[in-house]
């Protein structure tokens, strides 16, 4: 028995599934990956195996592991007493920086997770409009809560107008809550227009990932977001951009700066804290002032705005504002994505990679890149078996890609600022070996 297996068997005695979070279970491994340490772009498991990391702690470790500037920020918080549930000058400094960086941010409220801030954004939109229904898009993910956790992993029946039957992504969700959610096809402006007309006067908010990395890399079509913005303005609907993953990946101002479209509310997380638990809700003052203590919409918490992640986030935002920060990301992205696509071509394996900034998806089985704009087309063509073979061979070659289970579409991968160009070149050399291996058909078992 290996040490990994020993740990897993022991953990199962005390933890459900041997893990503290369901998403940490790695189906290809048949257990979680147990780490000894992490540094820069590398992970080291308890058996001493080394991996170049393309998971980045689900995207939160945007600056790599054990970054010296983040370590210094943490040491500062320890020196101050690493307290929580109180305010400091650094809280307002962080909020000021967010208002300067995020185009739509006029006021900010901190929280702990992406799930919490999307819950609060929806609650705030309902307060502002006095309406109840929420429009979301199939495939898009906004946290694990009943308000909007539908049709991320499930393909629902779609009518001729682009409206999709809401299917919960977990058991234990009351059927009555589905009446408050309208699920429609993304990148289909006619579907949005039809739903707005059908539920006229009932829709509080439209929530979306402007680039849905939760679907590999499922971007908005050119001009689509401008049309959505116009419709929301005309109907008095709050437009929410969920940038928990897309935040800071390709621009300081995130996807809203990339597309040049400002939402009313923005949710941020993951890269904001560089590996520490923090999230933010930002938006127009007129809407945000509905939050307590000024308004009656409650958003608070014991751990909200803890000193340690606040100081880490300030350092993260300082880094994204530095000259050349995104140029080096683009250089590495271009080399990596070009190299992966060459692997597909060289070994005649159907598929491609699509990435924006430092986050990407690997679309096995999807040959037409235009299909990336249609979640349903990708779901029909995505080769899950080949994707899992790829992940297994990557592990065998010292590359860590996470297996998210049986998603009908690719999930998100990424690199950090700690990944050097040498890391990228080593990765591409190993990927040539990976693609060569998965090109060979599996031997039949008799």
Give tens-digit pLDDT for 3-48: 888 999 999 999 999 999 999 999 999 999 999 999 999 999 999 9
- 401 inside domain: yes
Name 382's Cβ contacts closer than 8 Å, sequence gap at least 6: 363, 364, 365, 366, 408, 409, 410
Q: From CA 171, how far away is CA 149, in angstroms rounded? A: 11
- 277 inside domain: yes
Largest Cα span, the chain = 70
Return the ∠ at Cα 212 (arms to 338 and 290), rounded to 5°. 145
- 286 inside domain: yes
Q: From CA 108, how far away is CA 100, in angstroms rounded? A: 11
In this prediction the pTM is 0.96
Residue ending a domain, among 274, 290, 320, is 320
Do 43 and 112 fall into the same domain? no
- CATH number of the domain to which 40 belongs: 3.90.1150.10
**Cβ atoms 269, 276 nearer than 8 A:** no
- 445 inside domain: no
Residues in the chain with pLDDT values less than 70: 1, 442-446
pLDDT for res 2: 85
pLDDT for res 441: 73
**Cβ atoms 274, 312 nearer than 8 A:** yes
Residue ending a domain, among 280, 304, 320, is 320
pLDDT for res 442: 62
- CATH number of the domain to which 269 belongs: 3.40.640.10
pLDDT for res 1: 55
Do 311 and 332 fall into the same domain? no
Do 61 and 85 fall into the same domain? no
Do 283 and 417 fall into the same domain? no
- 446 inside domain: no
The count of domains in the chain is 2
- 18 inside domain: yes
Do 23 and 166 fall into the same domain? no
pLDDT for res 445: 40
- 444 inside domain: no
Q: Which of 282, 242, 239 is nearest to 263 (CA)?
A: 239
Do 354 and 314 fall into the same domain? no
pLDDT for res 446: 35
Do 386 and 311 fall into the same domain? no
pLDDT for res 3: 85
Residue ending a domain, among 304, 320, 336, is 320
**Cβ atoms 252, 101 nearer than 8 A:** yes
Do 126 and 205 fall into the same domain? yes
Q: Domain limits at 233?
A: 68-320
Do 46 and 82 fall into the same domain? no
Do 371 and 241 fall into the same domain? no
Do 209 and 175 fall into the same domain? yes
- 22 inside domain: yes
Name 414's Cβ contacts closer than 8 Å, sequence gap at least 6: 54, 55, 56, 59, 62, 213, 249, 358, 359, 360
Backbone angles phi, psi at 76, to 5 degrees: -65, -40
Q: Tell me whether the omega of the peptide bond preceding residue 80 falls within 30 degrees of 0, making it cis.
A: no
Do 263 and 330 fall into the same domain? no
């Amino acid at each position: 028995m290996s040490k990994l297996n020993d740990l897993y068997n022991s953990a199962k005695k005390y933890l459900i599934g041997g893990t503290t979070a369901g998403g940490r279970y790695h189906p290809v491994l048949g257990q979680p990956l147990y780490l000894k340490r992490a540094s820069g772009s590398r992970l080291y498991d308890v058996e001493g195996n080394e991996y170049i990391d393309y998971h980045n702690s689900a995207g939160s470790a945007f600056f790599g592991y054990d970054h010296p500037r983040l370590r210094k920020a943490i040491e500062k918080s320890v020196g101050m007493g690493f307290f929580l549930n109180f305010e400091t000058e650094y809280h307002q400094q962080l909020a000021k920086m967010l208002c300067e960086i995020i185009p739509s941010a006029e006021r900010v409220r901190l929280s702990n997770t992406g799930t919490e801030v999307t819950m609060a954004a929806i609650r705030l939109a309902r307060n502002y409009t006095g309406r109840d229904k929420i429009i979301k898009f199939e495939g898009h993910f906004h946290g694990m809560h009943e308000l909007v956790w539908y049709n991320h992993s499930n393909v629902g029946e779609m009518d001729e107008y682009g409206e999709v039957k809401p299917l919960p992504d977990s058991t234990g969700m009351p059927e009555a809550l589905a009446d408050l959610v309208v699920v429609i096809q993304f990148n289909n402006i006619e579907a949005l227009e039809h739903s707005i007309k059908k539920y006229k006067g009932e829709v509080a908010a439209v929530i979306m990932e402007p680039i849905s990395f939760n679907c590999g890399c499922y971007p908005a079509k050119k001009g689509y977001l401008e049309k959505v913005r116009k419709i929301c303005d005309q109907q008095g609907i709050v437009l929410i951009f969920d940038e928990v993953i897309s935040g800071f990946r390709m621009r300081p101002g995130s996807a809203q700066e990339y597309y040049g479209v400002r939402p009313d509310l923005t949710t941020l997380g993951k890269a904001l804290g560089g590996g520490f638990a923090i999230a933010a809700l930002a938006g127009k003052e007129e809407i945000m002032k509905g939050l307590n203590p000024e308004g009656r919409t409650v958003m608070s918490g014991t751990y909200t705005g803890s000193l340690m992640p606040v100081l880490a986030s300030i350092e993260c935002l300082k880094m994204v504002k530095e000259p050349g920060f995104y140029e080096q990301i683009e250089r590495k992205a271009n080399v990596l994505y070009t190299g992966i696509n060459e692997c597909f071509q060289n070994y005649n394996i159907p598929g491609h990679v699509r990435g924006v900034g430092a986050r990407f998806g690997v679309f096995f089985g999807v040959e037409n890149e235009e299909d990336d704009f249609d979640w349903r087309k990708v779901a029909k063509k995505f080769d899950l078996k080949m994707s899992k073979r790829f992940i297994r061979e990557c592990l065998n070659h010292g590359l860590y890609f996470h297996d998210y289970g049986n998603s009908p579409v690719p999930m998100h991968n990424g690199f950090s600022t700690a990944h050097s160009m040498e890391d990228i070149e080593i990765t591409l050399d190993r990927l040539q070996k990976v693609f060569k291996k998965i090109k060979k058909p599996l031997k039949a078992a008799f």
